[in-house]
Amino acid sequence: MRTKILLYLFLIIATVVQAQDKVLDSLQNELKKAKNDIDKTIVLNAIADQYKYSDPTKMAEYGNQALQLAKKIKYKVEEGNAYLNIGTSNIILGDYKKALDNFILAKDIFEENNTSSTKKEVAQGLAKAYGSMGIVFSEQSNYAKALEFYLKSVKIYESLKDESKCSKIYNNIGVVYKSQNSDFKALEYFIKAQKIQDKLQDVNVGITLTNIANIYLKQKSLDKASEYYTLAKKALEKNPNPRALGEWYNNMGLYYVEKNQDNEAISSWNNSIKTFQSIDDKFGLADTYIFLGQFYLAKNQLDEAFQNTNKALTLATEINVLEQKAVSEKLLSEIYAKKGNSNLALEHFQKYSVAKDSLTNEENIRRSVEASMNYEFEKKELLQKEENDKRELLLKEEAKSSKLKLIFGALIALLLFGIGFLIYNRTQLKKTLTLQKELAEYEQKALHLQMNPHFVFNCLGSISSFIVQNGTDSAIKYLSKFSKLMRLTLEYSKESLIPIDKEIESLQNYLELEQLRFNHKFNFNIQKSADIEDDVALPPLLIQPFVENAIIHGVIPKKEMGNITIDFSIKDDSLICTILDDGIGINQSKLNKENSVVAHKSMALDIITKRLEMIASSTSKKATIEIEELTEENKITGTKVILHLPLQYIV
């Protein structure tokens, strides 16, 4: 016989039967005092729910009364609860087809009303319907469907923060995984259930701890199994549950067998017998006698094996449990074979074969019924989906007809939002104006930096030189480029962002102008990655100061021809701009600068650093600058400036 994994039904909770009579008496009094049909329906369902502990027939009776009354007054929540009670009574009575039919009806009602004003009650009902359907499918060994509905159920209970119900579903999910021999997944869910039950001091934690111990026993992790069996025993002593305690003793017997502690195993099974006898649990007793029969047979103590197996067979025959009868007959056959009584061994083996065939036939019939049920279920699910699609289409049509109401509602909401925004805006106005003033000041400084008198003077001086030297065409070309650069600079100086192509155009004009000015003392190249889209943008007047430094303080002081490269690329969520020159380097440039130039660069770097800080603050993204002097074999080869800017787009 296998170790048992205990399944939590919504309808089976230990240790509550004793208080049931008091609760039922109280509910019956409430039913008599109920002044309206709504209250009567609620109390009828509550009475039905109480009878799940003792009398499924009465549970169905009160559930049907609640159903009829709920239909009469169109009380959907209690109608769904009534179907749940009727379905639960059918599970107890073993009629899984009727149980599933009622659970589906409950599910459909709760799904249809899941947006009503009683949303929490509906969600609870829907979760219970899903969980109950999971139980039916689990009992039918349809584990895929069982798992599907358990997971739906637990998702709702998690959203409702109903930890007690979550723990029960976690346990049932563990049972499903255990039945599929997925022991590690089963253990994961049993432990999740146990942690919640410990927290809530749930009376059923002993059952879950026993399930965990059984998994460890199966995996031969005997120390872990012992740890959890000990915890389970303490929990069962605190919250008595004879049936669960009897199973605990049975499993401990198997544990002691694994530990080769024969006396302890026998003692544990004897305790199991006493416990099951106290509640007249013949099914549990038959299991215990089978365990003892198998144990004594393995030890070749044939008389003891015979006595216990014969008791098991008597009980199994009395309660007509074919699986126990088959196991018992096979054990008796093996016992007689070892005793040398071949005739009785053959006789009991034949009886075992008959019981096994009956069990197989019963299983085939059950599977046939289950297949039919599953087909009907799938058919109903499909019809329900079609009905839902029709309902959704109808709702869309109704939504069109109420469009004007929605528009008016939206306008009112917009008006209220506008009023709220204005109130909020007044409180933020002073701070915003201060920030805008500071931003405008730094942008103006940056603009002045680009249009400094030295640059304008040098450009005009170059034009004058070209004219004096009869370079009229060159002067006109220079003047044209200068004019275009000034126009672009002024046009975009007040914008917060400009397209990257416009920035490249401005840099192109500036570099060509400087080439003319310095008689083509350097070459330049501007590159843009193909990954950069046309609407990518960056702040204006941010790159030109570094290009100017590269020209004036980098490549111009060189004796040889210089080169400047500007590269735009994208990395992660940043726009990367790299300005590379093969000039004299940072340190040598510092030695060559005059005091006025030093002040000029210092101001430029301060302004750009401040702008980058403001950009980073407003976008919550990285905006940094890196300046590096390049060397090769201890020889200075130039300077690299890298700007990391947030990736932004023109709206």
Tens of pLDDT, residues 347-373? 999 999 988 887 677 555 555 545 555
Tell me the average pLDDT across 62-76. 93
CA dist., res. 148 & res. 556, Å (int): 75
232 touches 216 (CB < 8 A): no
CATH number at residue 500: 3.30.565.10
Domain count, the chain: 2
CA dist., res. 103 & res. 139, Å (int): 15
CA dist., res. 309 & res. 608, Å (int): 92
The structure tokens listed for 567 are 């590269």
Q: What confidence score (pLDDT) does residue 292 get?
A: 96
CATH number at residue 24: 1.25.40.10
Question: Over the chain, what is the mean pLDDT?
Answer: 83
| Residue 94: pLDDT over 50 | yes
Q: Which strand ranges, in their side-by-side order, compose the sheet holding 536-538? A: 498-499, 536-538, 648-649
Q: Is 247 contained in some domain? A: no
Q: What confidence score (pLDDT) does residue 12 get?
A: 40
CA dist., res. 40 & res. 581, Å (int): 89
**Encoded amino acid at 80, one letter:** G
Q: What confidence score (pLDDT) does residue 255 get?
A: 95
| Residue 562: pLDDT over 70 | yes
| Residue 232: pLDDT over 90 | yes
Q: What confidence score (pLDDT) does residue 465 get?
A: 62
Q: 116 pLDDT band (50/70/90 cuts)? A: low
Q: What confidence score (pLDDT) does residue 640 get?
A: 94
Q: Is 122 contained in some domain? A: yes
Query: Residues in the chain, how many?
Result: 651
| Residue 295: pLDDT over 90 | yes
CA dist., res. 283 & res. 103, Å (int): 29
Do the bridges between strand 562-571 and strand 574-581 make them parallel or antiparallel, or are there none, so unpaired? antiparallel
Q: Is 121 contained in some domain? A: yes
Residue 459 or 605, more confident: 605
Instruction: Provide long-range contacts, Cβ within 8 A and 24+ apart, for 508-511.
Output: 509/481, 509/484, 509/485, 510/485, 510/544, 510/547, 510/548, 511/547, 511/551, 511/564
| Residue 491: pLDDT over 50 | yes
Reported as type and span, the H/E element at residue 604 is: helix 595-619
pLDDT tens-digit series, residues 126-173? 999 999 999 888 877 788 888 999 999 999 999 999 999 999 899 999
Tell me the average pLDDT across 89-105. 87
Q: What confidence score (pLDDT) does residue 428 get?
A: 78
152 touches 140 (CB < 8 A): no
Reported as type and span, the H/E element at residue 643 is: strand 635-646
Tell me the average pLDDT across 542-552. 88
**Residue from 101, 120, 113 nearest 74 by CA:** 113
Phi and psi at residue 12, in whole multiples of 5°? -120, 110
HEC letters along 478-511: HHHHHHHHHHHHHHHCCCCCEEHHHHHHHHHHHH
Phi and psi at residue 525, in whole multiples of 5°? -145, 130
Q: Is 334 contained in some domain? A: no
Tell me the average pLDDT across 477-502. 77
Residue 305 or 2, more confident: 305
Q: What confidence score (pLDDT) does residue 483 get?
A: 79
153 touches 134 (CB < 8 A): yes
Q: CA-CA-CA-CA torsion for 220, 225, 227, 230, nearest 10 degrees?
A: -140
The structure tokens listed for 411 are 């306008």
Q: What confidence score (pLDDT) does residue 414 get?
A: 83
Q: Is 241 contained in some domain? A: no
Percent of the chain with pLDDT over 90: 43
pLDDT tens-digit series, residues 14-55? 344 445 677 888 888 988 888 899 999 999 999 998 887 678
Burial of 267 (0-12, 13-18, 19+ CB in 10 A): middle
Q: Is 270 contained in some domain? A: no
Phi and psi at residue 292, in whole multiples of 5°? -65, -40
Last residue of a domain, one of 130, 150, 172: 130
**Residue from 60, 62, 54 nearest 12 by CA:** 54
Q: Is 594 contained in some domain? A: yes
Tell me the average pLDDT across 480-486. 77
CA dist., res. 484 & res. 479, Å (int): 9
Give the three-state DSSP class for 526. Answer: strand
Q: Is 434 contained in some domain? A: no
Last residue of a domain, one of 72, 103, 130: 130
CA dist., res. 137 & res. 364, Å (int): 16
**Residue from 319, 258, 264, 332 nearest 293 by CA:** 332
| Residue 385: pLDDT over 90 | no
Residue recorded with tokens 């008091």: 22
Give residue 84's domain range: 16-130
| Residue 261: pLDDT over 80 | yes
Tell me the average pLDDT across 54-83. 92
Last residue of a domain, one of 81, 106, 130: 130
